[in-house]
Structure 1
Amino acid sequence: MSGARPYRIRPGRRAALIAAYAGPSAFPAAPAASDGPRAALRDIVEDVDGATARRYAAADSTGRGRDAAKIIQDTSGDYLAVYHTLLSDGRFHAALATSSDLMNWTFTTDFGAGSSQPTIKQVSNGGYLVAWEQDPSNHIAVHYFPNRSSLKAGTAARTLQAPRTLSSCAEGTPNIYSVRLAPDIDHSVIELGGHYYSDCKVDRQMRATLTDFTSWKAAKQQEVDNALLHWGVR
């Protein structure tokens, strides 16, 4: 927002001022600006019968279940999905599949044992960034693929095994907020989110910055946690 900087009143004083000048019913609670779009999106997602197409127990061309799938449409127009499956070795394997219709998925590559909760983002230079939770010593792994061919082959040009700094037990479930190249991946700023296992008891929110694909700094997102805790989410 532009203009003069708002004057801040401490919460206790603000409540007193409202009670003194306005009375308890003068300012009815206004809906959040996002309530309308959120409700519209919820209606679309919940209207399964109204979908153009639908598929339950979705699997790729090899029969692998596509748990925790993240889907993007890249500049080629095709769809790419990353997901994980618990295989017969007793470990999760993240994988990549491609599709032209969102219904039929062709398995492309396995990212290896111990990889789970993957996420994917296409970068402005045509490359791809894939991050996942890697075990043992559960942590976030970030991989850069310079083009579609290297992605489909599972051959990363850059890889970072992020250090755990917020939990001695686990950090993972990554998402990618943004990637800024200046001008390439070795001179970049990547913003990610994820979870850390607080006190080895419960997941909490984190945010991390990866600079030049070498420097990793993570911080707790306590304001996000507090918003969820306020509504009884534990």
Structure 2
Amino acid sequence: MNTTPGNITPDIPQLDPMRLQARKHALLNEISTKPSRRWWRFAVPATTLVAAVAATLVLWTPTNPNAYASWTAEPRAPGDLAPVLADCGKRLDQHDVDRGVNGPDWPAPREVSVVDWRGDMTMVLYTGPQSESLCMRTPKGVAMSDHGNVKGREPLGDRLFADFAPQMGMTDVHTGSSVQFLTGRVSPKVGKVVIGTQDGLKVTATVDNGWVVAWWPSLGKPEHVELYDEAGGVLQTAPIPVRVR
């Protein structure tokens, strides 16, 4: 150890260049042989005031060019919800296990408010007094997007519709294929919601218990919503504000 008055400098061991190079190649080989599961990237606005946690999910493999062939603009008839709730429930249970340690410090919501059956994905919106969770289940697995601190969210009031912040999207990092999501609240007067996207899609959302959920395979963000009553009468066409990312 080298010492001078008032200063102590430890000797720094010198690494063998040959050993360092061998270790570098070993690490690269190890990384290259591990199967990648990070095929999808979630995107949420950076400016949102709502805390959000999103997990990666292998929805479909990049080698499947017809990944969205089963998608429909209209939600399909409900199926057997038991296996979906079982898989989503495991993620909620893990949320509570990790709460305040490896995860956010709010309890997982447990009330099923709306279920959207569409293509190969089933989405379940869980709500609670402190948080909401959107569970997304496909044949490849389950992902959860959690939103906490919802007590501070502006009430719906006299409005017919209000979307949530953040508006969430998901992109395949290999192919660039994207999925967009919309979740929100609607007045009891609203019986049907049709979403118009920036790239011209018309997507009928699932509405239940005053909540609305939909997804579509596109880069187009939600641009406006068409709101109808139970009899099919037009109530309103409302623009959706663009969120700054």
Fold match (TM-score > 0.5)? no
TM-score (norm 2): 0.31
* Bigger CA radius of gyration: 2
